[in-house]
Amino acid sequence: MPHSASERVRAWRPDVPGLVEVFHARFTHHAYPAHTHTAWTLLIVDDGAIRFDLDRHHHGAAGSAVTLLPPHVPHDGRSATPDGFCKRVLYLEPDVIGAELIGATVDHPTLADRQLRLRVHQLHQALDRPGEDLEAESRLALIGARIAERLATTATTAGPPLPPSSPTLAGRLRDLLDERVADGVSLRSAAARLHAHPTHLVRSFTAAFGLPPHRYLTGRRVELARRLLLAGQRPAEVATAAGFYDQAHLTRHFTRYLGVSPGRYARS
């Protein structure tokens, strides 16, 4: 059956380690035949409902639940309502979740977890805003850890628990962020440099300083932008010099932090 005018698709590959693709779609008539992916499929449904078979067992996706489909396991998909469905999907690199949890996911692909769904929604929001790669990477790390925790009780082999938060590790990460305010640093490269798990980094930093690393870095960049604006630089120049993606990116964060645009701040 041909697609109606209301059906739409948006897809892109973000510059975020661990993410293969972001896929947003509204379908009324389309039905997926049985197929597999090499990546994990993490999806939320914003409208309508989906019926799918995973490894020849019937399941559904809708509402506040999060659906996780493992790599290399056949599944299909179709609308469970006459009006179709609207979904947002993240395709994750295999190591984001871990092959040891494939069996548990086949048995329990639906996670009724409102906090997890909120985190997935927030990750999609970050991915929709240019220049928020560290936020997206941090949120992805926490999502992967929460999924692993939820599935570990049903998995035959669960990974070792993360160590307790470390103030010393948090301080080392803060020093690294302070050194790289304008250039930035990815969570994956920071974890490699500090010899720590990415999720452990985020949790330790948040516990020690009361906010996650990406918010700390944004605050430092706004602080740098203030100094550069008062020194007479134009907002467009300041955006690049302070580590923002572009002037719009600077303006959004600057206004949120200070209640005034960079241009008005400089003129004041």
Tokens, residue 77? 């998909």
**Coil/strand/helix, residue 264:** helix
The pair of structure tokens assigned to 25 is 């779609």
The answer, yes or no, to whether residue 2 has pLDDT greater than 60, is no
Q: 11 forms bridges with which residues in the sheet?
A: 23
pLDDT band at residue 165 using 50, 70 and 90 as cut-offs: low
Torsion angle of the four alpha carbons 115, 129, 178, 263, in this order, in degrees rounded to the nearest 10: -130
Considering only CA atoms, give the Rg of the chain: 21
Tens of pLDDT along 192-237?
999 999 999 999 999 999 889 999 999 999 999 999 998 999 999 9
Tokens of 61: 């996706």
pLDDT in tens, 103-121: 999 999 999 999 999 999 9
> Is 92 strand, coil or helix?
strand
Query: First-to-last CA distance in the chain?
Result: 61
Place of tokens 């949790």: 203
- Nearest-angstrom CA–CA distance, 19 and 232: 39
Q: What is the mean pLDDT of the chain?
A: 90
- Please compute the mean of the pLDDT values over residues 139-157 and round it to a whole number: 82
pLDDT tens sequence across 15-71: 999 999 999 999 988 888 888 899 999 999 999 999 999 988 899 888 889 999 999
CA dist., res. 212 & res. 206, Å (int)? 5
Looking at residue 99, the DSSP 8-state letter turns out to be G
Angstrom CA distances, 181 to 16, 74, 88, 129, 261, stand at 18, 44, 32, 19, 21
